[in-house]
Amino acid sequence: MNYYSLNKKAPNTSFKDAVIKGLAPDKGLYFPEEINALPKSFFENIDNLSYTEIAFETIKQFVTPDIPEDVLKTIIEETLSFDFPVIELNQNISTLELFHGPTMAFKDVGARFMARCLGYFNQNNDQEVTVLVATSGDTGGAVANGFLGVEGVNVVILYPSGKVSDIQEKQLTTLKKNITALEVDGVFDDCQDMVKRAFLDEELTTHMQLTSANSINVARWLPQLFYFVFAYKQLHNKHKEIVFSVPSGNFGNICAGMMAQQLGLPIKHFIASNNDNNVVTEYLQSEQYNPKPSVQTISNAMDVGNPSNFIRIQEIYHNNFEALKENLSSYSFSDKQTKEALKEIYNDYSYVADPHGAVGYLGCKAYLKEHPETHCVFLETAHPTKFLDIVEDTIRENIDLPEQILKVMDKKKKSIKISSYNELKEVLLK
Ligand SMILES: Cc1ncc(COP(=O)(O)O)c(C=O)c1O
Ligand SMILES: N[C@@H](CCOP(=O)(O)O)C(=O)O
């Protein structure tokens, strides 16, 4: 499959080139030239397919021939070595748990998939690749873990100082080896802007091969479409009208869900559930897209004021506002509402959610008021222990720490503080 730049001022390119570049030379995000729906029989036969078979069939068209089919099968088997269970809370609401990977956030799948694709492309290449990542909390840890020790790849992670949880910070600052963590005096959007600026900086790009492991990179973004198909496999025999409530920040996950729908997955509707960073909620009300500086919330990984992937969503709907509104609703919720939701989920269903999942739950409840005939799945995008203080204080219970979290708790943080783009450049050129 070839890819084009959404800024339409750069040549179309192969999957391999799109992965290695991350962002097109005109600063546009790459988008597949075609999306070919799978036959209806694929979804009718889904009970007989394993997760790895589903993943292979749904992503094959986007990555072959650059990744040969046999290599793709191995990459998928290695990537999906954990579970994706759906837990039903009641007749109308389920949660899809996406936190069973090594860093306990949904980013693990995309990060592991991309690391293996880049490792494959890089095997006969003498030049080292530098992977730049901006994180509001979870991408950094997942990418650090996924790329640790990958030959010929250096990873540089930018995160907003003081605005990620303690455990998220440990996950991205303690691995060392080929991973460097930069603590930025600013918000997530400052980190993301610095990364995008670096791609356009010829002084850097003539010295080094830069790519991104944020969802702007197609190899990080597209595997996220698997989740929606995995949930459908678990629910379709019981519920006919399935809607997904996706806690959204950079909008890569929900946009990947829309790609699954384009492949023919019968999804009735999407809900973008936001915290106070509500650019898209406001857009759907006013048709005005006004990015603004992000504000800090307890669902910190969603503190994004200018979501990268919204442009991909507009492309899927051919920039047709009415068509988008038919398929997407959006609500935003305050921290106070999020804490109330954490308590309600715990008291009513004995289920411990994390603040991001709680925002997704609130999105389900808001949508179900108008559409009680549907079944709403909210994505549990991270394990609650990643936000230990907030969750324990809110539900007034101690929660057990899983092994993945215990492993990093006592490690020593190592980061470099920076406050400007020039300081980033200095680190990269060293
Ligand atoms: C726990 C969690 N939930 C939700 C999101 C938002 O996902 P997206 O940026 O794909 O919208 C993120 C970060 O991306 C996250 O880490
Ligand atoms: N919420 C993210 C922000 C970056 O999102 P990405 O999907 O574009 O990498 C995070 O946790 O870092």
DSSP one-letter string for 206-259 = TTSEEEE-STTSHHHHGGGGHHHHHHHHHHTTT-SSEEEEEE-SSSHHHHHHHH
Average pLDDT over residues 48-71: 98
Name the token pair of 299.
């669902």
Query: Minimum-distance ligand to the CA of 189?
Result: 2
Q: Is the pLDDT of residue 125 over 80?
A: no
Query: Minimum-distance ligand to the CA of 252?
Result: 1
- Position 378 scores a pLDDT of 98
Cα separation of 112 and 249, whole Å? 20
Q: List the catalytic residue out of 40, 73, 107, 386.
A: 107
**107 assigned to active site:** yes
List residues near ligand 2 (CB under 6 A): 135-140, 214-215, 249-250, 252, 301, 308
pTM for the whole structure: 0.97
Q: How many CA atoms lie within 13 A of 254 on its CB side?
A: 32
Residue whose CB lies within 8 A of the most ligand 1 atoms, among 255, 302, 338, for a mutation test: 302
Q: Is the pLDDT of residue 44 over 80?
A: yes
**Ligand 1 centroid – CA 291 distance (Å):** 17
Query: Minimum-distance ligand to the CA of 303?
Result: 2
Q: Is the pLDDT of residue 127 over 90?
A: no
pLDDT tier for residue 408 given thresholds of 50, 70 and 90: very high
**Ligand 2 centroid – CA 135 distance (Å):** 5
Q: What is the DSSP letter of 396?
A: T
What lies within 8 Å, CB to CB, of 216 at 6+ separation is 22, 23, 29, 308, 309
- Position 245 scores a pLDDT of 98
**Ligand 2 centroid – CA 386 distance (Å):** 15
Query: What region does 46 belong to: left with phi over 0, alpha with psi -120 to 50, or beta?
Result: alpha
**Ligand 2 centroid – CA 249 distance (Å):** 7
The complex scores an ipTM of: 0.98
Q: Is the pLDDT of residue 126 over 90?
A: no
| Cis omega (within 30 of 0) for bond into 65 | yes
Average pLDDT over residues 171-186: 95
pLDDT tier for residue 123 given thresholds of 50, 70 and 90: confident
Which atom of ligand 1 is closest in space to residue 250's alpha carbon?
9
